[in-house]
Chains A and B, each alone.
Chain A
Amino acid sequence: MKNTVIAKRYAKALFAVGKEGNAFADFTKTLNAMSELFAGMPEVADALTNPLYPVEAREKVMEHLLTSMQVSQVLGNFFKLLVQKKRANILPDIAAVFQAMVDADNNMCQGTVVSAMELTPELSAKVKATLEKITGKQVVLTSQVDPSIIGGIVAKVGDLVLDGSIKSQLAGLKESIKGSE
């Protein structure tokens, strides 16, 4: 997260290009796939960022990657530029910032909901509706299951956290008993 300033600059440029070509959906998909690749396969990230390999070699790796992923011309250029400028390491940051920019443009935001058990579709729709009411934006909800919260749900949208989990309530109860001693 330290390189957000630089990531913002690159994302902004890409955003401007995407707006002209109306290619946000394609861009976000590819960027997210790329950032997942970085997270999932550190060897790929290493091959693209490690300064021990000459820049030409790294560029070649990127080119192979691009042809195998069938990336559009514009985005392909963008990735090559990143490798050339030795900024490939901030690719995940760029993906995140770009996603946020596209969301803001569409009046949308990403939310996560954590629950102890799998949520039923009705419940998850209800959570989504509530979050949309609070934020005034369309919420794209992803759900996670974490048994450690015991019960209830924790919903996050951006900086906002709605914590209704049994875990945090127990912690609060503990504090209140300790505090009044």
Chain B
Amino acid sequence: MQIKAEEISQIIKGQIKDYESKVDLSETGTVISVGDGIARVYGVEKCMAMELLEFPGGILGIALNLEADNVGCAILGDVRKIKEGDTVKRTGRIAEVPVGPEMEGRVVDGVGTPIDGQGPLNAKHSSKIEVLAPGVIARKSVHEPCYTGAKAVDAMTPVGRGQRELVIGDRQIGKTALCVDAIIAQKYTDVHCVYVAIGQKKSTVALVVEALRKHGAMEYTTVVAACASDPAPMQYVAAFAGCAMGEYFRDNGQHALIIYDDLSKQAVSYRELSLLLRRPPGREAYPGDIFFNHSRLLERSCKVNDALGAGSLTALPIIETQAGDVSAFIPTNVISITDGQVYLEPNLFFAGVRPAINVGLSVSRVGGAAQVKAMKQVAGTLRLDLAQYRELAAFAGFGSDLDAATQAQLTRGARLVEILKQPQYQPLPMEKQICILFAGTRGYLDTLPVDSLAEYEQQLYAHIEKNQPSIYDDLKEKKAIDAALEEKIRATLQAFGESFKAAKGLK
């Protein structure tokens, strides 16, 4: 690109001409002390709670503590440039972030500044980061499914649009993977996604963004990244900022899915902030309003009523446990706020059951209301079957002789566990899930060896697509299995099962 000096001087000339000189009226204060990302400011008497204050050099801070003779302020930027005695200006704005469809496909930091090097956002709207959640009248009960693409979740702990389903488990057992798959699963739906990364490594966030981009999911996703190296206030605020971005869609009659990855780190950064602001510590040194912090955040995810456009904001908050301890402070808090949880277990993960969902401990309080009829028909007994299988498997471990009924139950259970396994980045649409679950729960897999099931599954999808595509269409359209459709599925499974066995040389 050639730079023309003449052009540049023209541009600057224009800007100088347009520059409006006006007397700058501002209310100011002075920094009394600064350190650890917190500044105490004297003055700014009319300062509002959560107002943005401007420090020299354009660094912003949020007024969090309003005291008799000073204001405690969290600095959202480089603390090193701020000195004692600096002048602080009021902006008169309550903390807000840019929102809207322009945010999709972008990576922004905790206060909505783009960090992906793709130029300015050009967002037309902005929204306050702290707003009240919709009230009782404004809501409607959750009734339509929001598919996560994971068979185990959609079949047994279904997530509805507007629901808040916690994903909980130890480190490194696929919590993020499950949620990233849920984003990818929204590719052919009208759901917009927001992924909020809190306190993670920048490399991890880059990997997630790369994965989303590779699977074409970045087009409808906003990534809010407050990484481990960002100041604590930024990490605390990022969750609310992401929520504000999701709310834009909810309030405009659209659907959105937000993932908070993860809220334990957000709690830790809020604890840091609170302690530095000298708020009294409580259990595990968390401040007294840590529960309120999470509840007011998660309450904003909901399904709004038809008068308000029937939009929804579904939340999948993530909590990391330490050595499976779900009874620690933060996990119990968030479990009690959310409408259910998906519990991931290391034992299962290392035994090769991935996603490592513990079916017994995972629940969805919205339950069947968030499932289509067809899914209820095939997965209704799944949870019970698996529970019985686990109980029997424990006994069968003793190696005693087993009667035929027990044998049958064990065979069935082992196959169900096998078909609930799913590789990463391969979320399945509802109709495919129903087909494989139908085969599993109706006994079409009982005669097949367990280790051939992954192959069976892949070939089955291809087979239906090629020979009986009407099954998929009917499921998508009717969302229920009537007698005719059941007959068709049975016939297809029967025929395919035989050809599969023949091809494999099985009897």
Tell me the A residues contacting B by CB distance below 8 Å: 1-2, 4-5, 8, 158-164, 168-169, 172-173, 175-177, 180
Other than the given A4-B69, A161-B24, A175-B58, 12 more pairs (CB < 8 A) read A1-B42, A2-B32, A5-B68, A5-B69, A158-B45, A160-B27, A161-B25, A161-B28, A162-B25, A163-B23, A163-B25, A172-B19
Chain B residues whose C-beta falls within 8 Å of the C-beta of A180 in the assembled complex: 15
Chain A residues whose C-beta falls within 8 Å of the C-beta of B15 in the assembled complex: 173, 176-177, 180
Which 7 A-B pairs rank lowest in CB-CB distance, beginning with the nearest? A164-B23, A163-B24, A159-B27, A159-B43, A4-B69, A161-B28, A173-B19
B contacts with A, residue count (CB < 8 A): 24
- Beta-carbon contact of B23 and A162 below 8 Å: yes
- Beta-carbon contact of A160 and B42 below 8 Å: no
Quote the shortest CB–CB distance from A123 to chain B (angstroms). Answer: 15
- Beta-carbon contact of A161 and B23 below 8 Å: no
B33 at the interface (CB under 8 A from A): yes
Closest to B24 in A: A163
Quote the shortest CB–CB distance from B57 to chain A (angstroms). Answer: 11
- Beta-carbon contact of A169 and B12 below 8 Å: no
Closest to B58 in A: A175
Query: What are 20 A-B residue pairs whose CB atoms fall within 8 Å in the complex?
Result: A1-B30, A1-B32, A158-B45, A159-B44, A159-B46, A160-B27, A161-B25, A161-B26, A161-B28, A162-B23, A162-B24, A163-B23, A163-B24, A164-B23, A164-B24, A168-B24, A172-B19, A172-B24, A173-B15, A176-B19
| Cα(A160)–Cα(B23), bound, Å | 13
Chain A residues whose C-beta falls within 8 Å of the C-beta of B12 in the assembled complex: 177
B29 at the interface (CB under 8 A from A): yes
Chain B residues whose C-beta falls within 8 Å of the C-beta of A164 in the assembled complex: 23-24
Given A169-B21, A177-B15; A159-B28 close (CB under 8 Å): yes
List B residues 425-474 near A (Cβ within 8 Å).
none
Of the listed residues A159, A175, A177, A180, the one surrounded by the most CB atoms of chain B closer than 10 A to its CB is A159
Chain A residues whose C-beta falls within 8 Å of the C-beta of B21 in the assembled complex: 169
| Cα(A173)–Cα(B43), bound, Å | 27
Closest to A5 in B: B69
B3 at the interface (CB under 8 A from A): no
B1 at the interface (CB under 8 A from A): no
| Cα(A169)–Cα(B23), bound, Å | 9
| Cα(A164)–Cα(B28), bound, Å | 15
- Beta-carbon contact of B69 and A8 below 8 Å: yes
List B residues 348-374 near A (Cβ within 8 Å).
none
List B residues 171-200 near A (Cβ within 8 Å).
none
From B16, B25, B30, B69, A160 is in contact (CB under 8 Å) with B25
| Cα(A126)–Cα(B326), bound, Å | 69
Chain B residues whose C-beta falls within 8 Å of the C-beta of A4 in the assembled complex: 42, 69-70
- Beta-carbon contact of A159 and B45 below 8 Å: yes
Closest to A168 in B: B24
Closest to B69 in A: A4
| Cα(A1)–Cα(B42), bound, Å | 8
Chain B positions 70 through 111: 1 when the CB is less than 8 Å from some CB of chain A, otherwise 0? 100000000000000000000000000000000000000000
Quote the shortest CB–CB distance from A168 to chain B (angstroms). Answer: 6
From A2, A161, A168, A173, B27 is in contact (CB under 8 Å) with A161
| Cα(A175)–Cα(B54), bound, Å | 14
Chain A residues whose C-beta falls within 8 Å of the C-beta of B24 in the assembled complex: 161-164, 168, 172
Chain A residues whose C-beta falls within 8 Å of the C-beta of B28 in the assembled complex: 159-161
Given A1-B32, A2-B32, A172-B19; A163-B69 close (CB under 8 Å): no
| Cα(A5)–Cα(B67), bound, Å | 11
| Cα(A155)–Cα(B134), bound, Å | 45
| Cα(A158)–Cα(B46), bound, Å | 12
| Cα(A2)–Cα(B84), bound, Å | 11
Quote the shortest CB–CB distance from B53 to chain A (angstroms). Answer: 12
Chain B residues whose C-beta falls within 8 Å of the C-beta of A168 in the assembled complex: 24
Chain B residues whose C-beta falls within 8 Å of the C-beta of A5 in the assembled complex: 68-69
Quote the shortest CB–CB distance from B127 to chain A (angstroms). Answer: 22
From A2, A159, A173, A175, B16 is in contact (CB under 8 Å) with A173
